[in-house]
Amino acid sequence: MLTQAKTQSRHPAHPAAHLATKASPLSGQMLFGAVSLVGAQMSYSKGSEIHGEDEPAEYVYKIISGVARSYRIMSDGRRQIERFYFPGDIVGLEAGAAYTTSVDAVADTVVLLVRKSAVMAAASSDIQVARQLLQYTANELSHARTHATLLVRSAPERVACFLLELEQHLSASDIELPMTRQDIADYLGLTIETVSRIFTQFRDTAAIELPTSRRVVLRNRKALASLNS
């Protein structure tokens, strides 16, 4: 039942997500470990939905491998991506009764999941867990505000910020992009064409290399950073 609910998506032909109920292999760090909860591991194939907007917020997820995106569909049909989740990131913890965004897998993704109620119960009795929960939410807030400052800037500035953010997160200047141009555009509030044009513009000014369309090597970090605050 859980498996069904979680693995259906607009990619009907993908293999069923694999549910393996077992003790978390990654205990001892952050919330998942701290509360000594047993997490179920689950796989989502590229494009499948992890949770939908307005669904009851039943689970909290931790990305083990792969990448996910959190987004909202606006009334005009455009998709606004709020953030990308990478391995180690936790998804859905800030939700109230219901999730406020949809989250799906950008690439094949494995997550650990625990019931949100269990986390909340742990936070009620353990002040240390409560503190981590607050820290997590504060980090999300910080990211959301940074993102908002991004969206009022020029297109080249937005793309430069995005690349530097990614470099920071992956701690590598040789970046294998897991997301499409459309994902980047939706994250930055631009169109796919504009993103593409700015990539080639950065390549032409030797700020980056583009060995393939999905691989970016930062060459002139200073030129990119000069576009930032």
Residue 182 lies near DNA (rule: CB under 7 A): yes
CA distance 87 to 82: 17
Given the complex with its own copies, which of 2 and 130 has the nearer CB atom? 130
Which of DNA, its own copies, none interacts with 171 (beta carbon under 5 to 8 A by kind)? none
- Candidate residues 118, 196, 223, 227; the one interacting with DNA per rule CB under 7 A: 196
Task: Report, in Å, the least distance between residue 109 CB and its own copies.
Answer: 22
Nearer to its own copies, 28 or 96 (CB): 96
The residues in 178-197 that bind its own copies, with binding defined as CB under 8 A, are: 189
Stretch in the footprint of DNA (CB under 7 A) among 117-125, 138-146, 166-174, 177-185 = 177-185
Q: How far apart are CA 108 and CA 163, in angstroms?
A: 22
Regarding 107 and contact with DNA (CB under 7 A), the answer is no
String marking each residue 115-144 x if it binds its own copies according to CB under 8 A: --------xxx-x--xx-xx--xx-xxx-x
Asked if 181 is part of the footprint of DNA (rule: CB under 7 A), the reply reads yes
By CB under 7 A, name the one of 84, 187, 199, 202 that touches DNA. Answer: 199
Residues that bind its own copies (CB under 8 A): 72, 74-76, 78, 80, 82, 94, 96, 100, 123-125, 127, 130-131, 133-134, 137-138, 140-142, 144-145, 147-149, 151-153, 189, 228-229
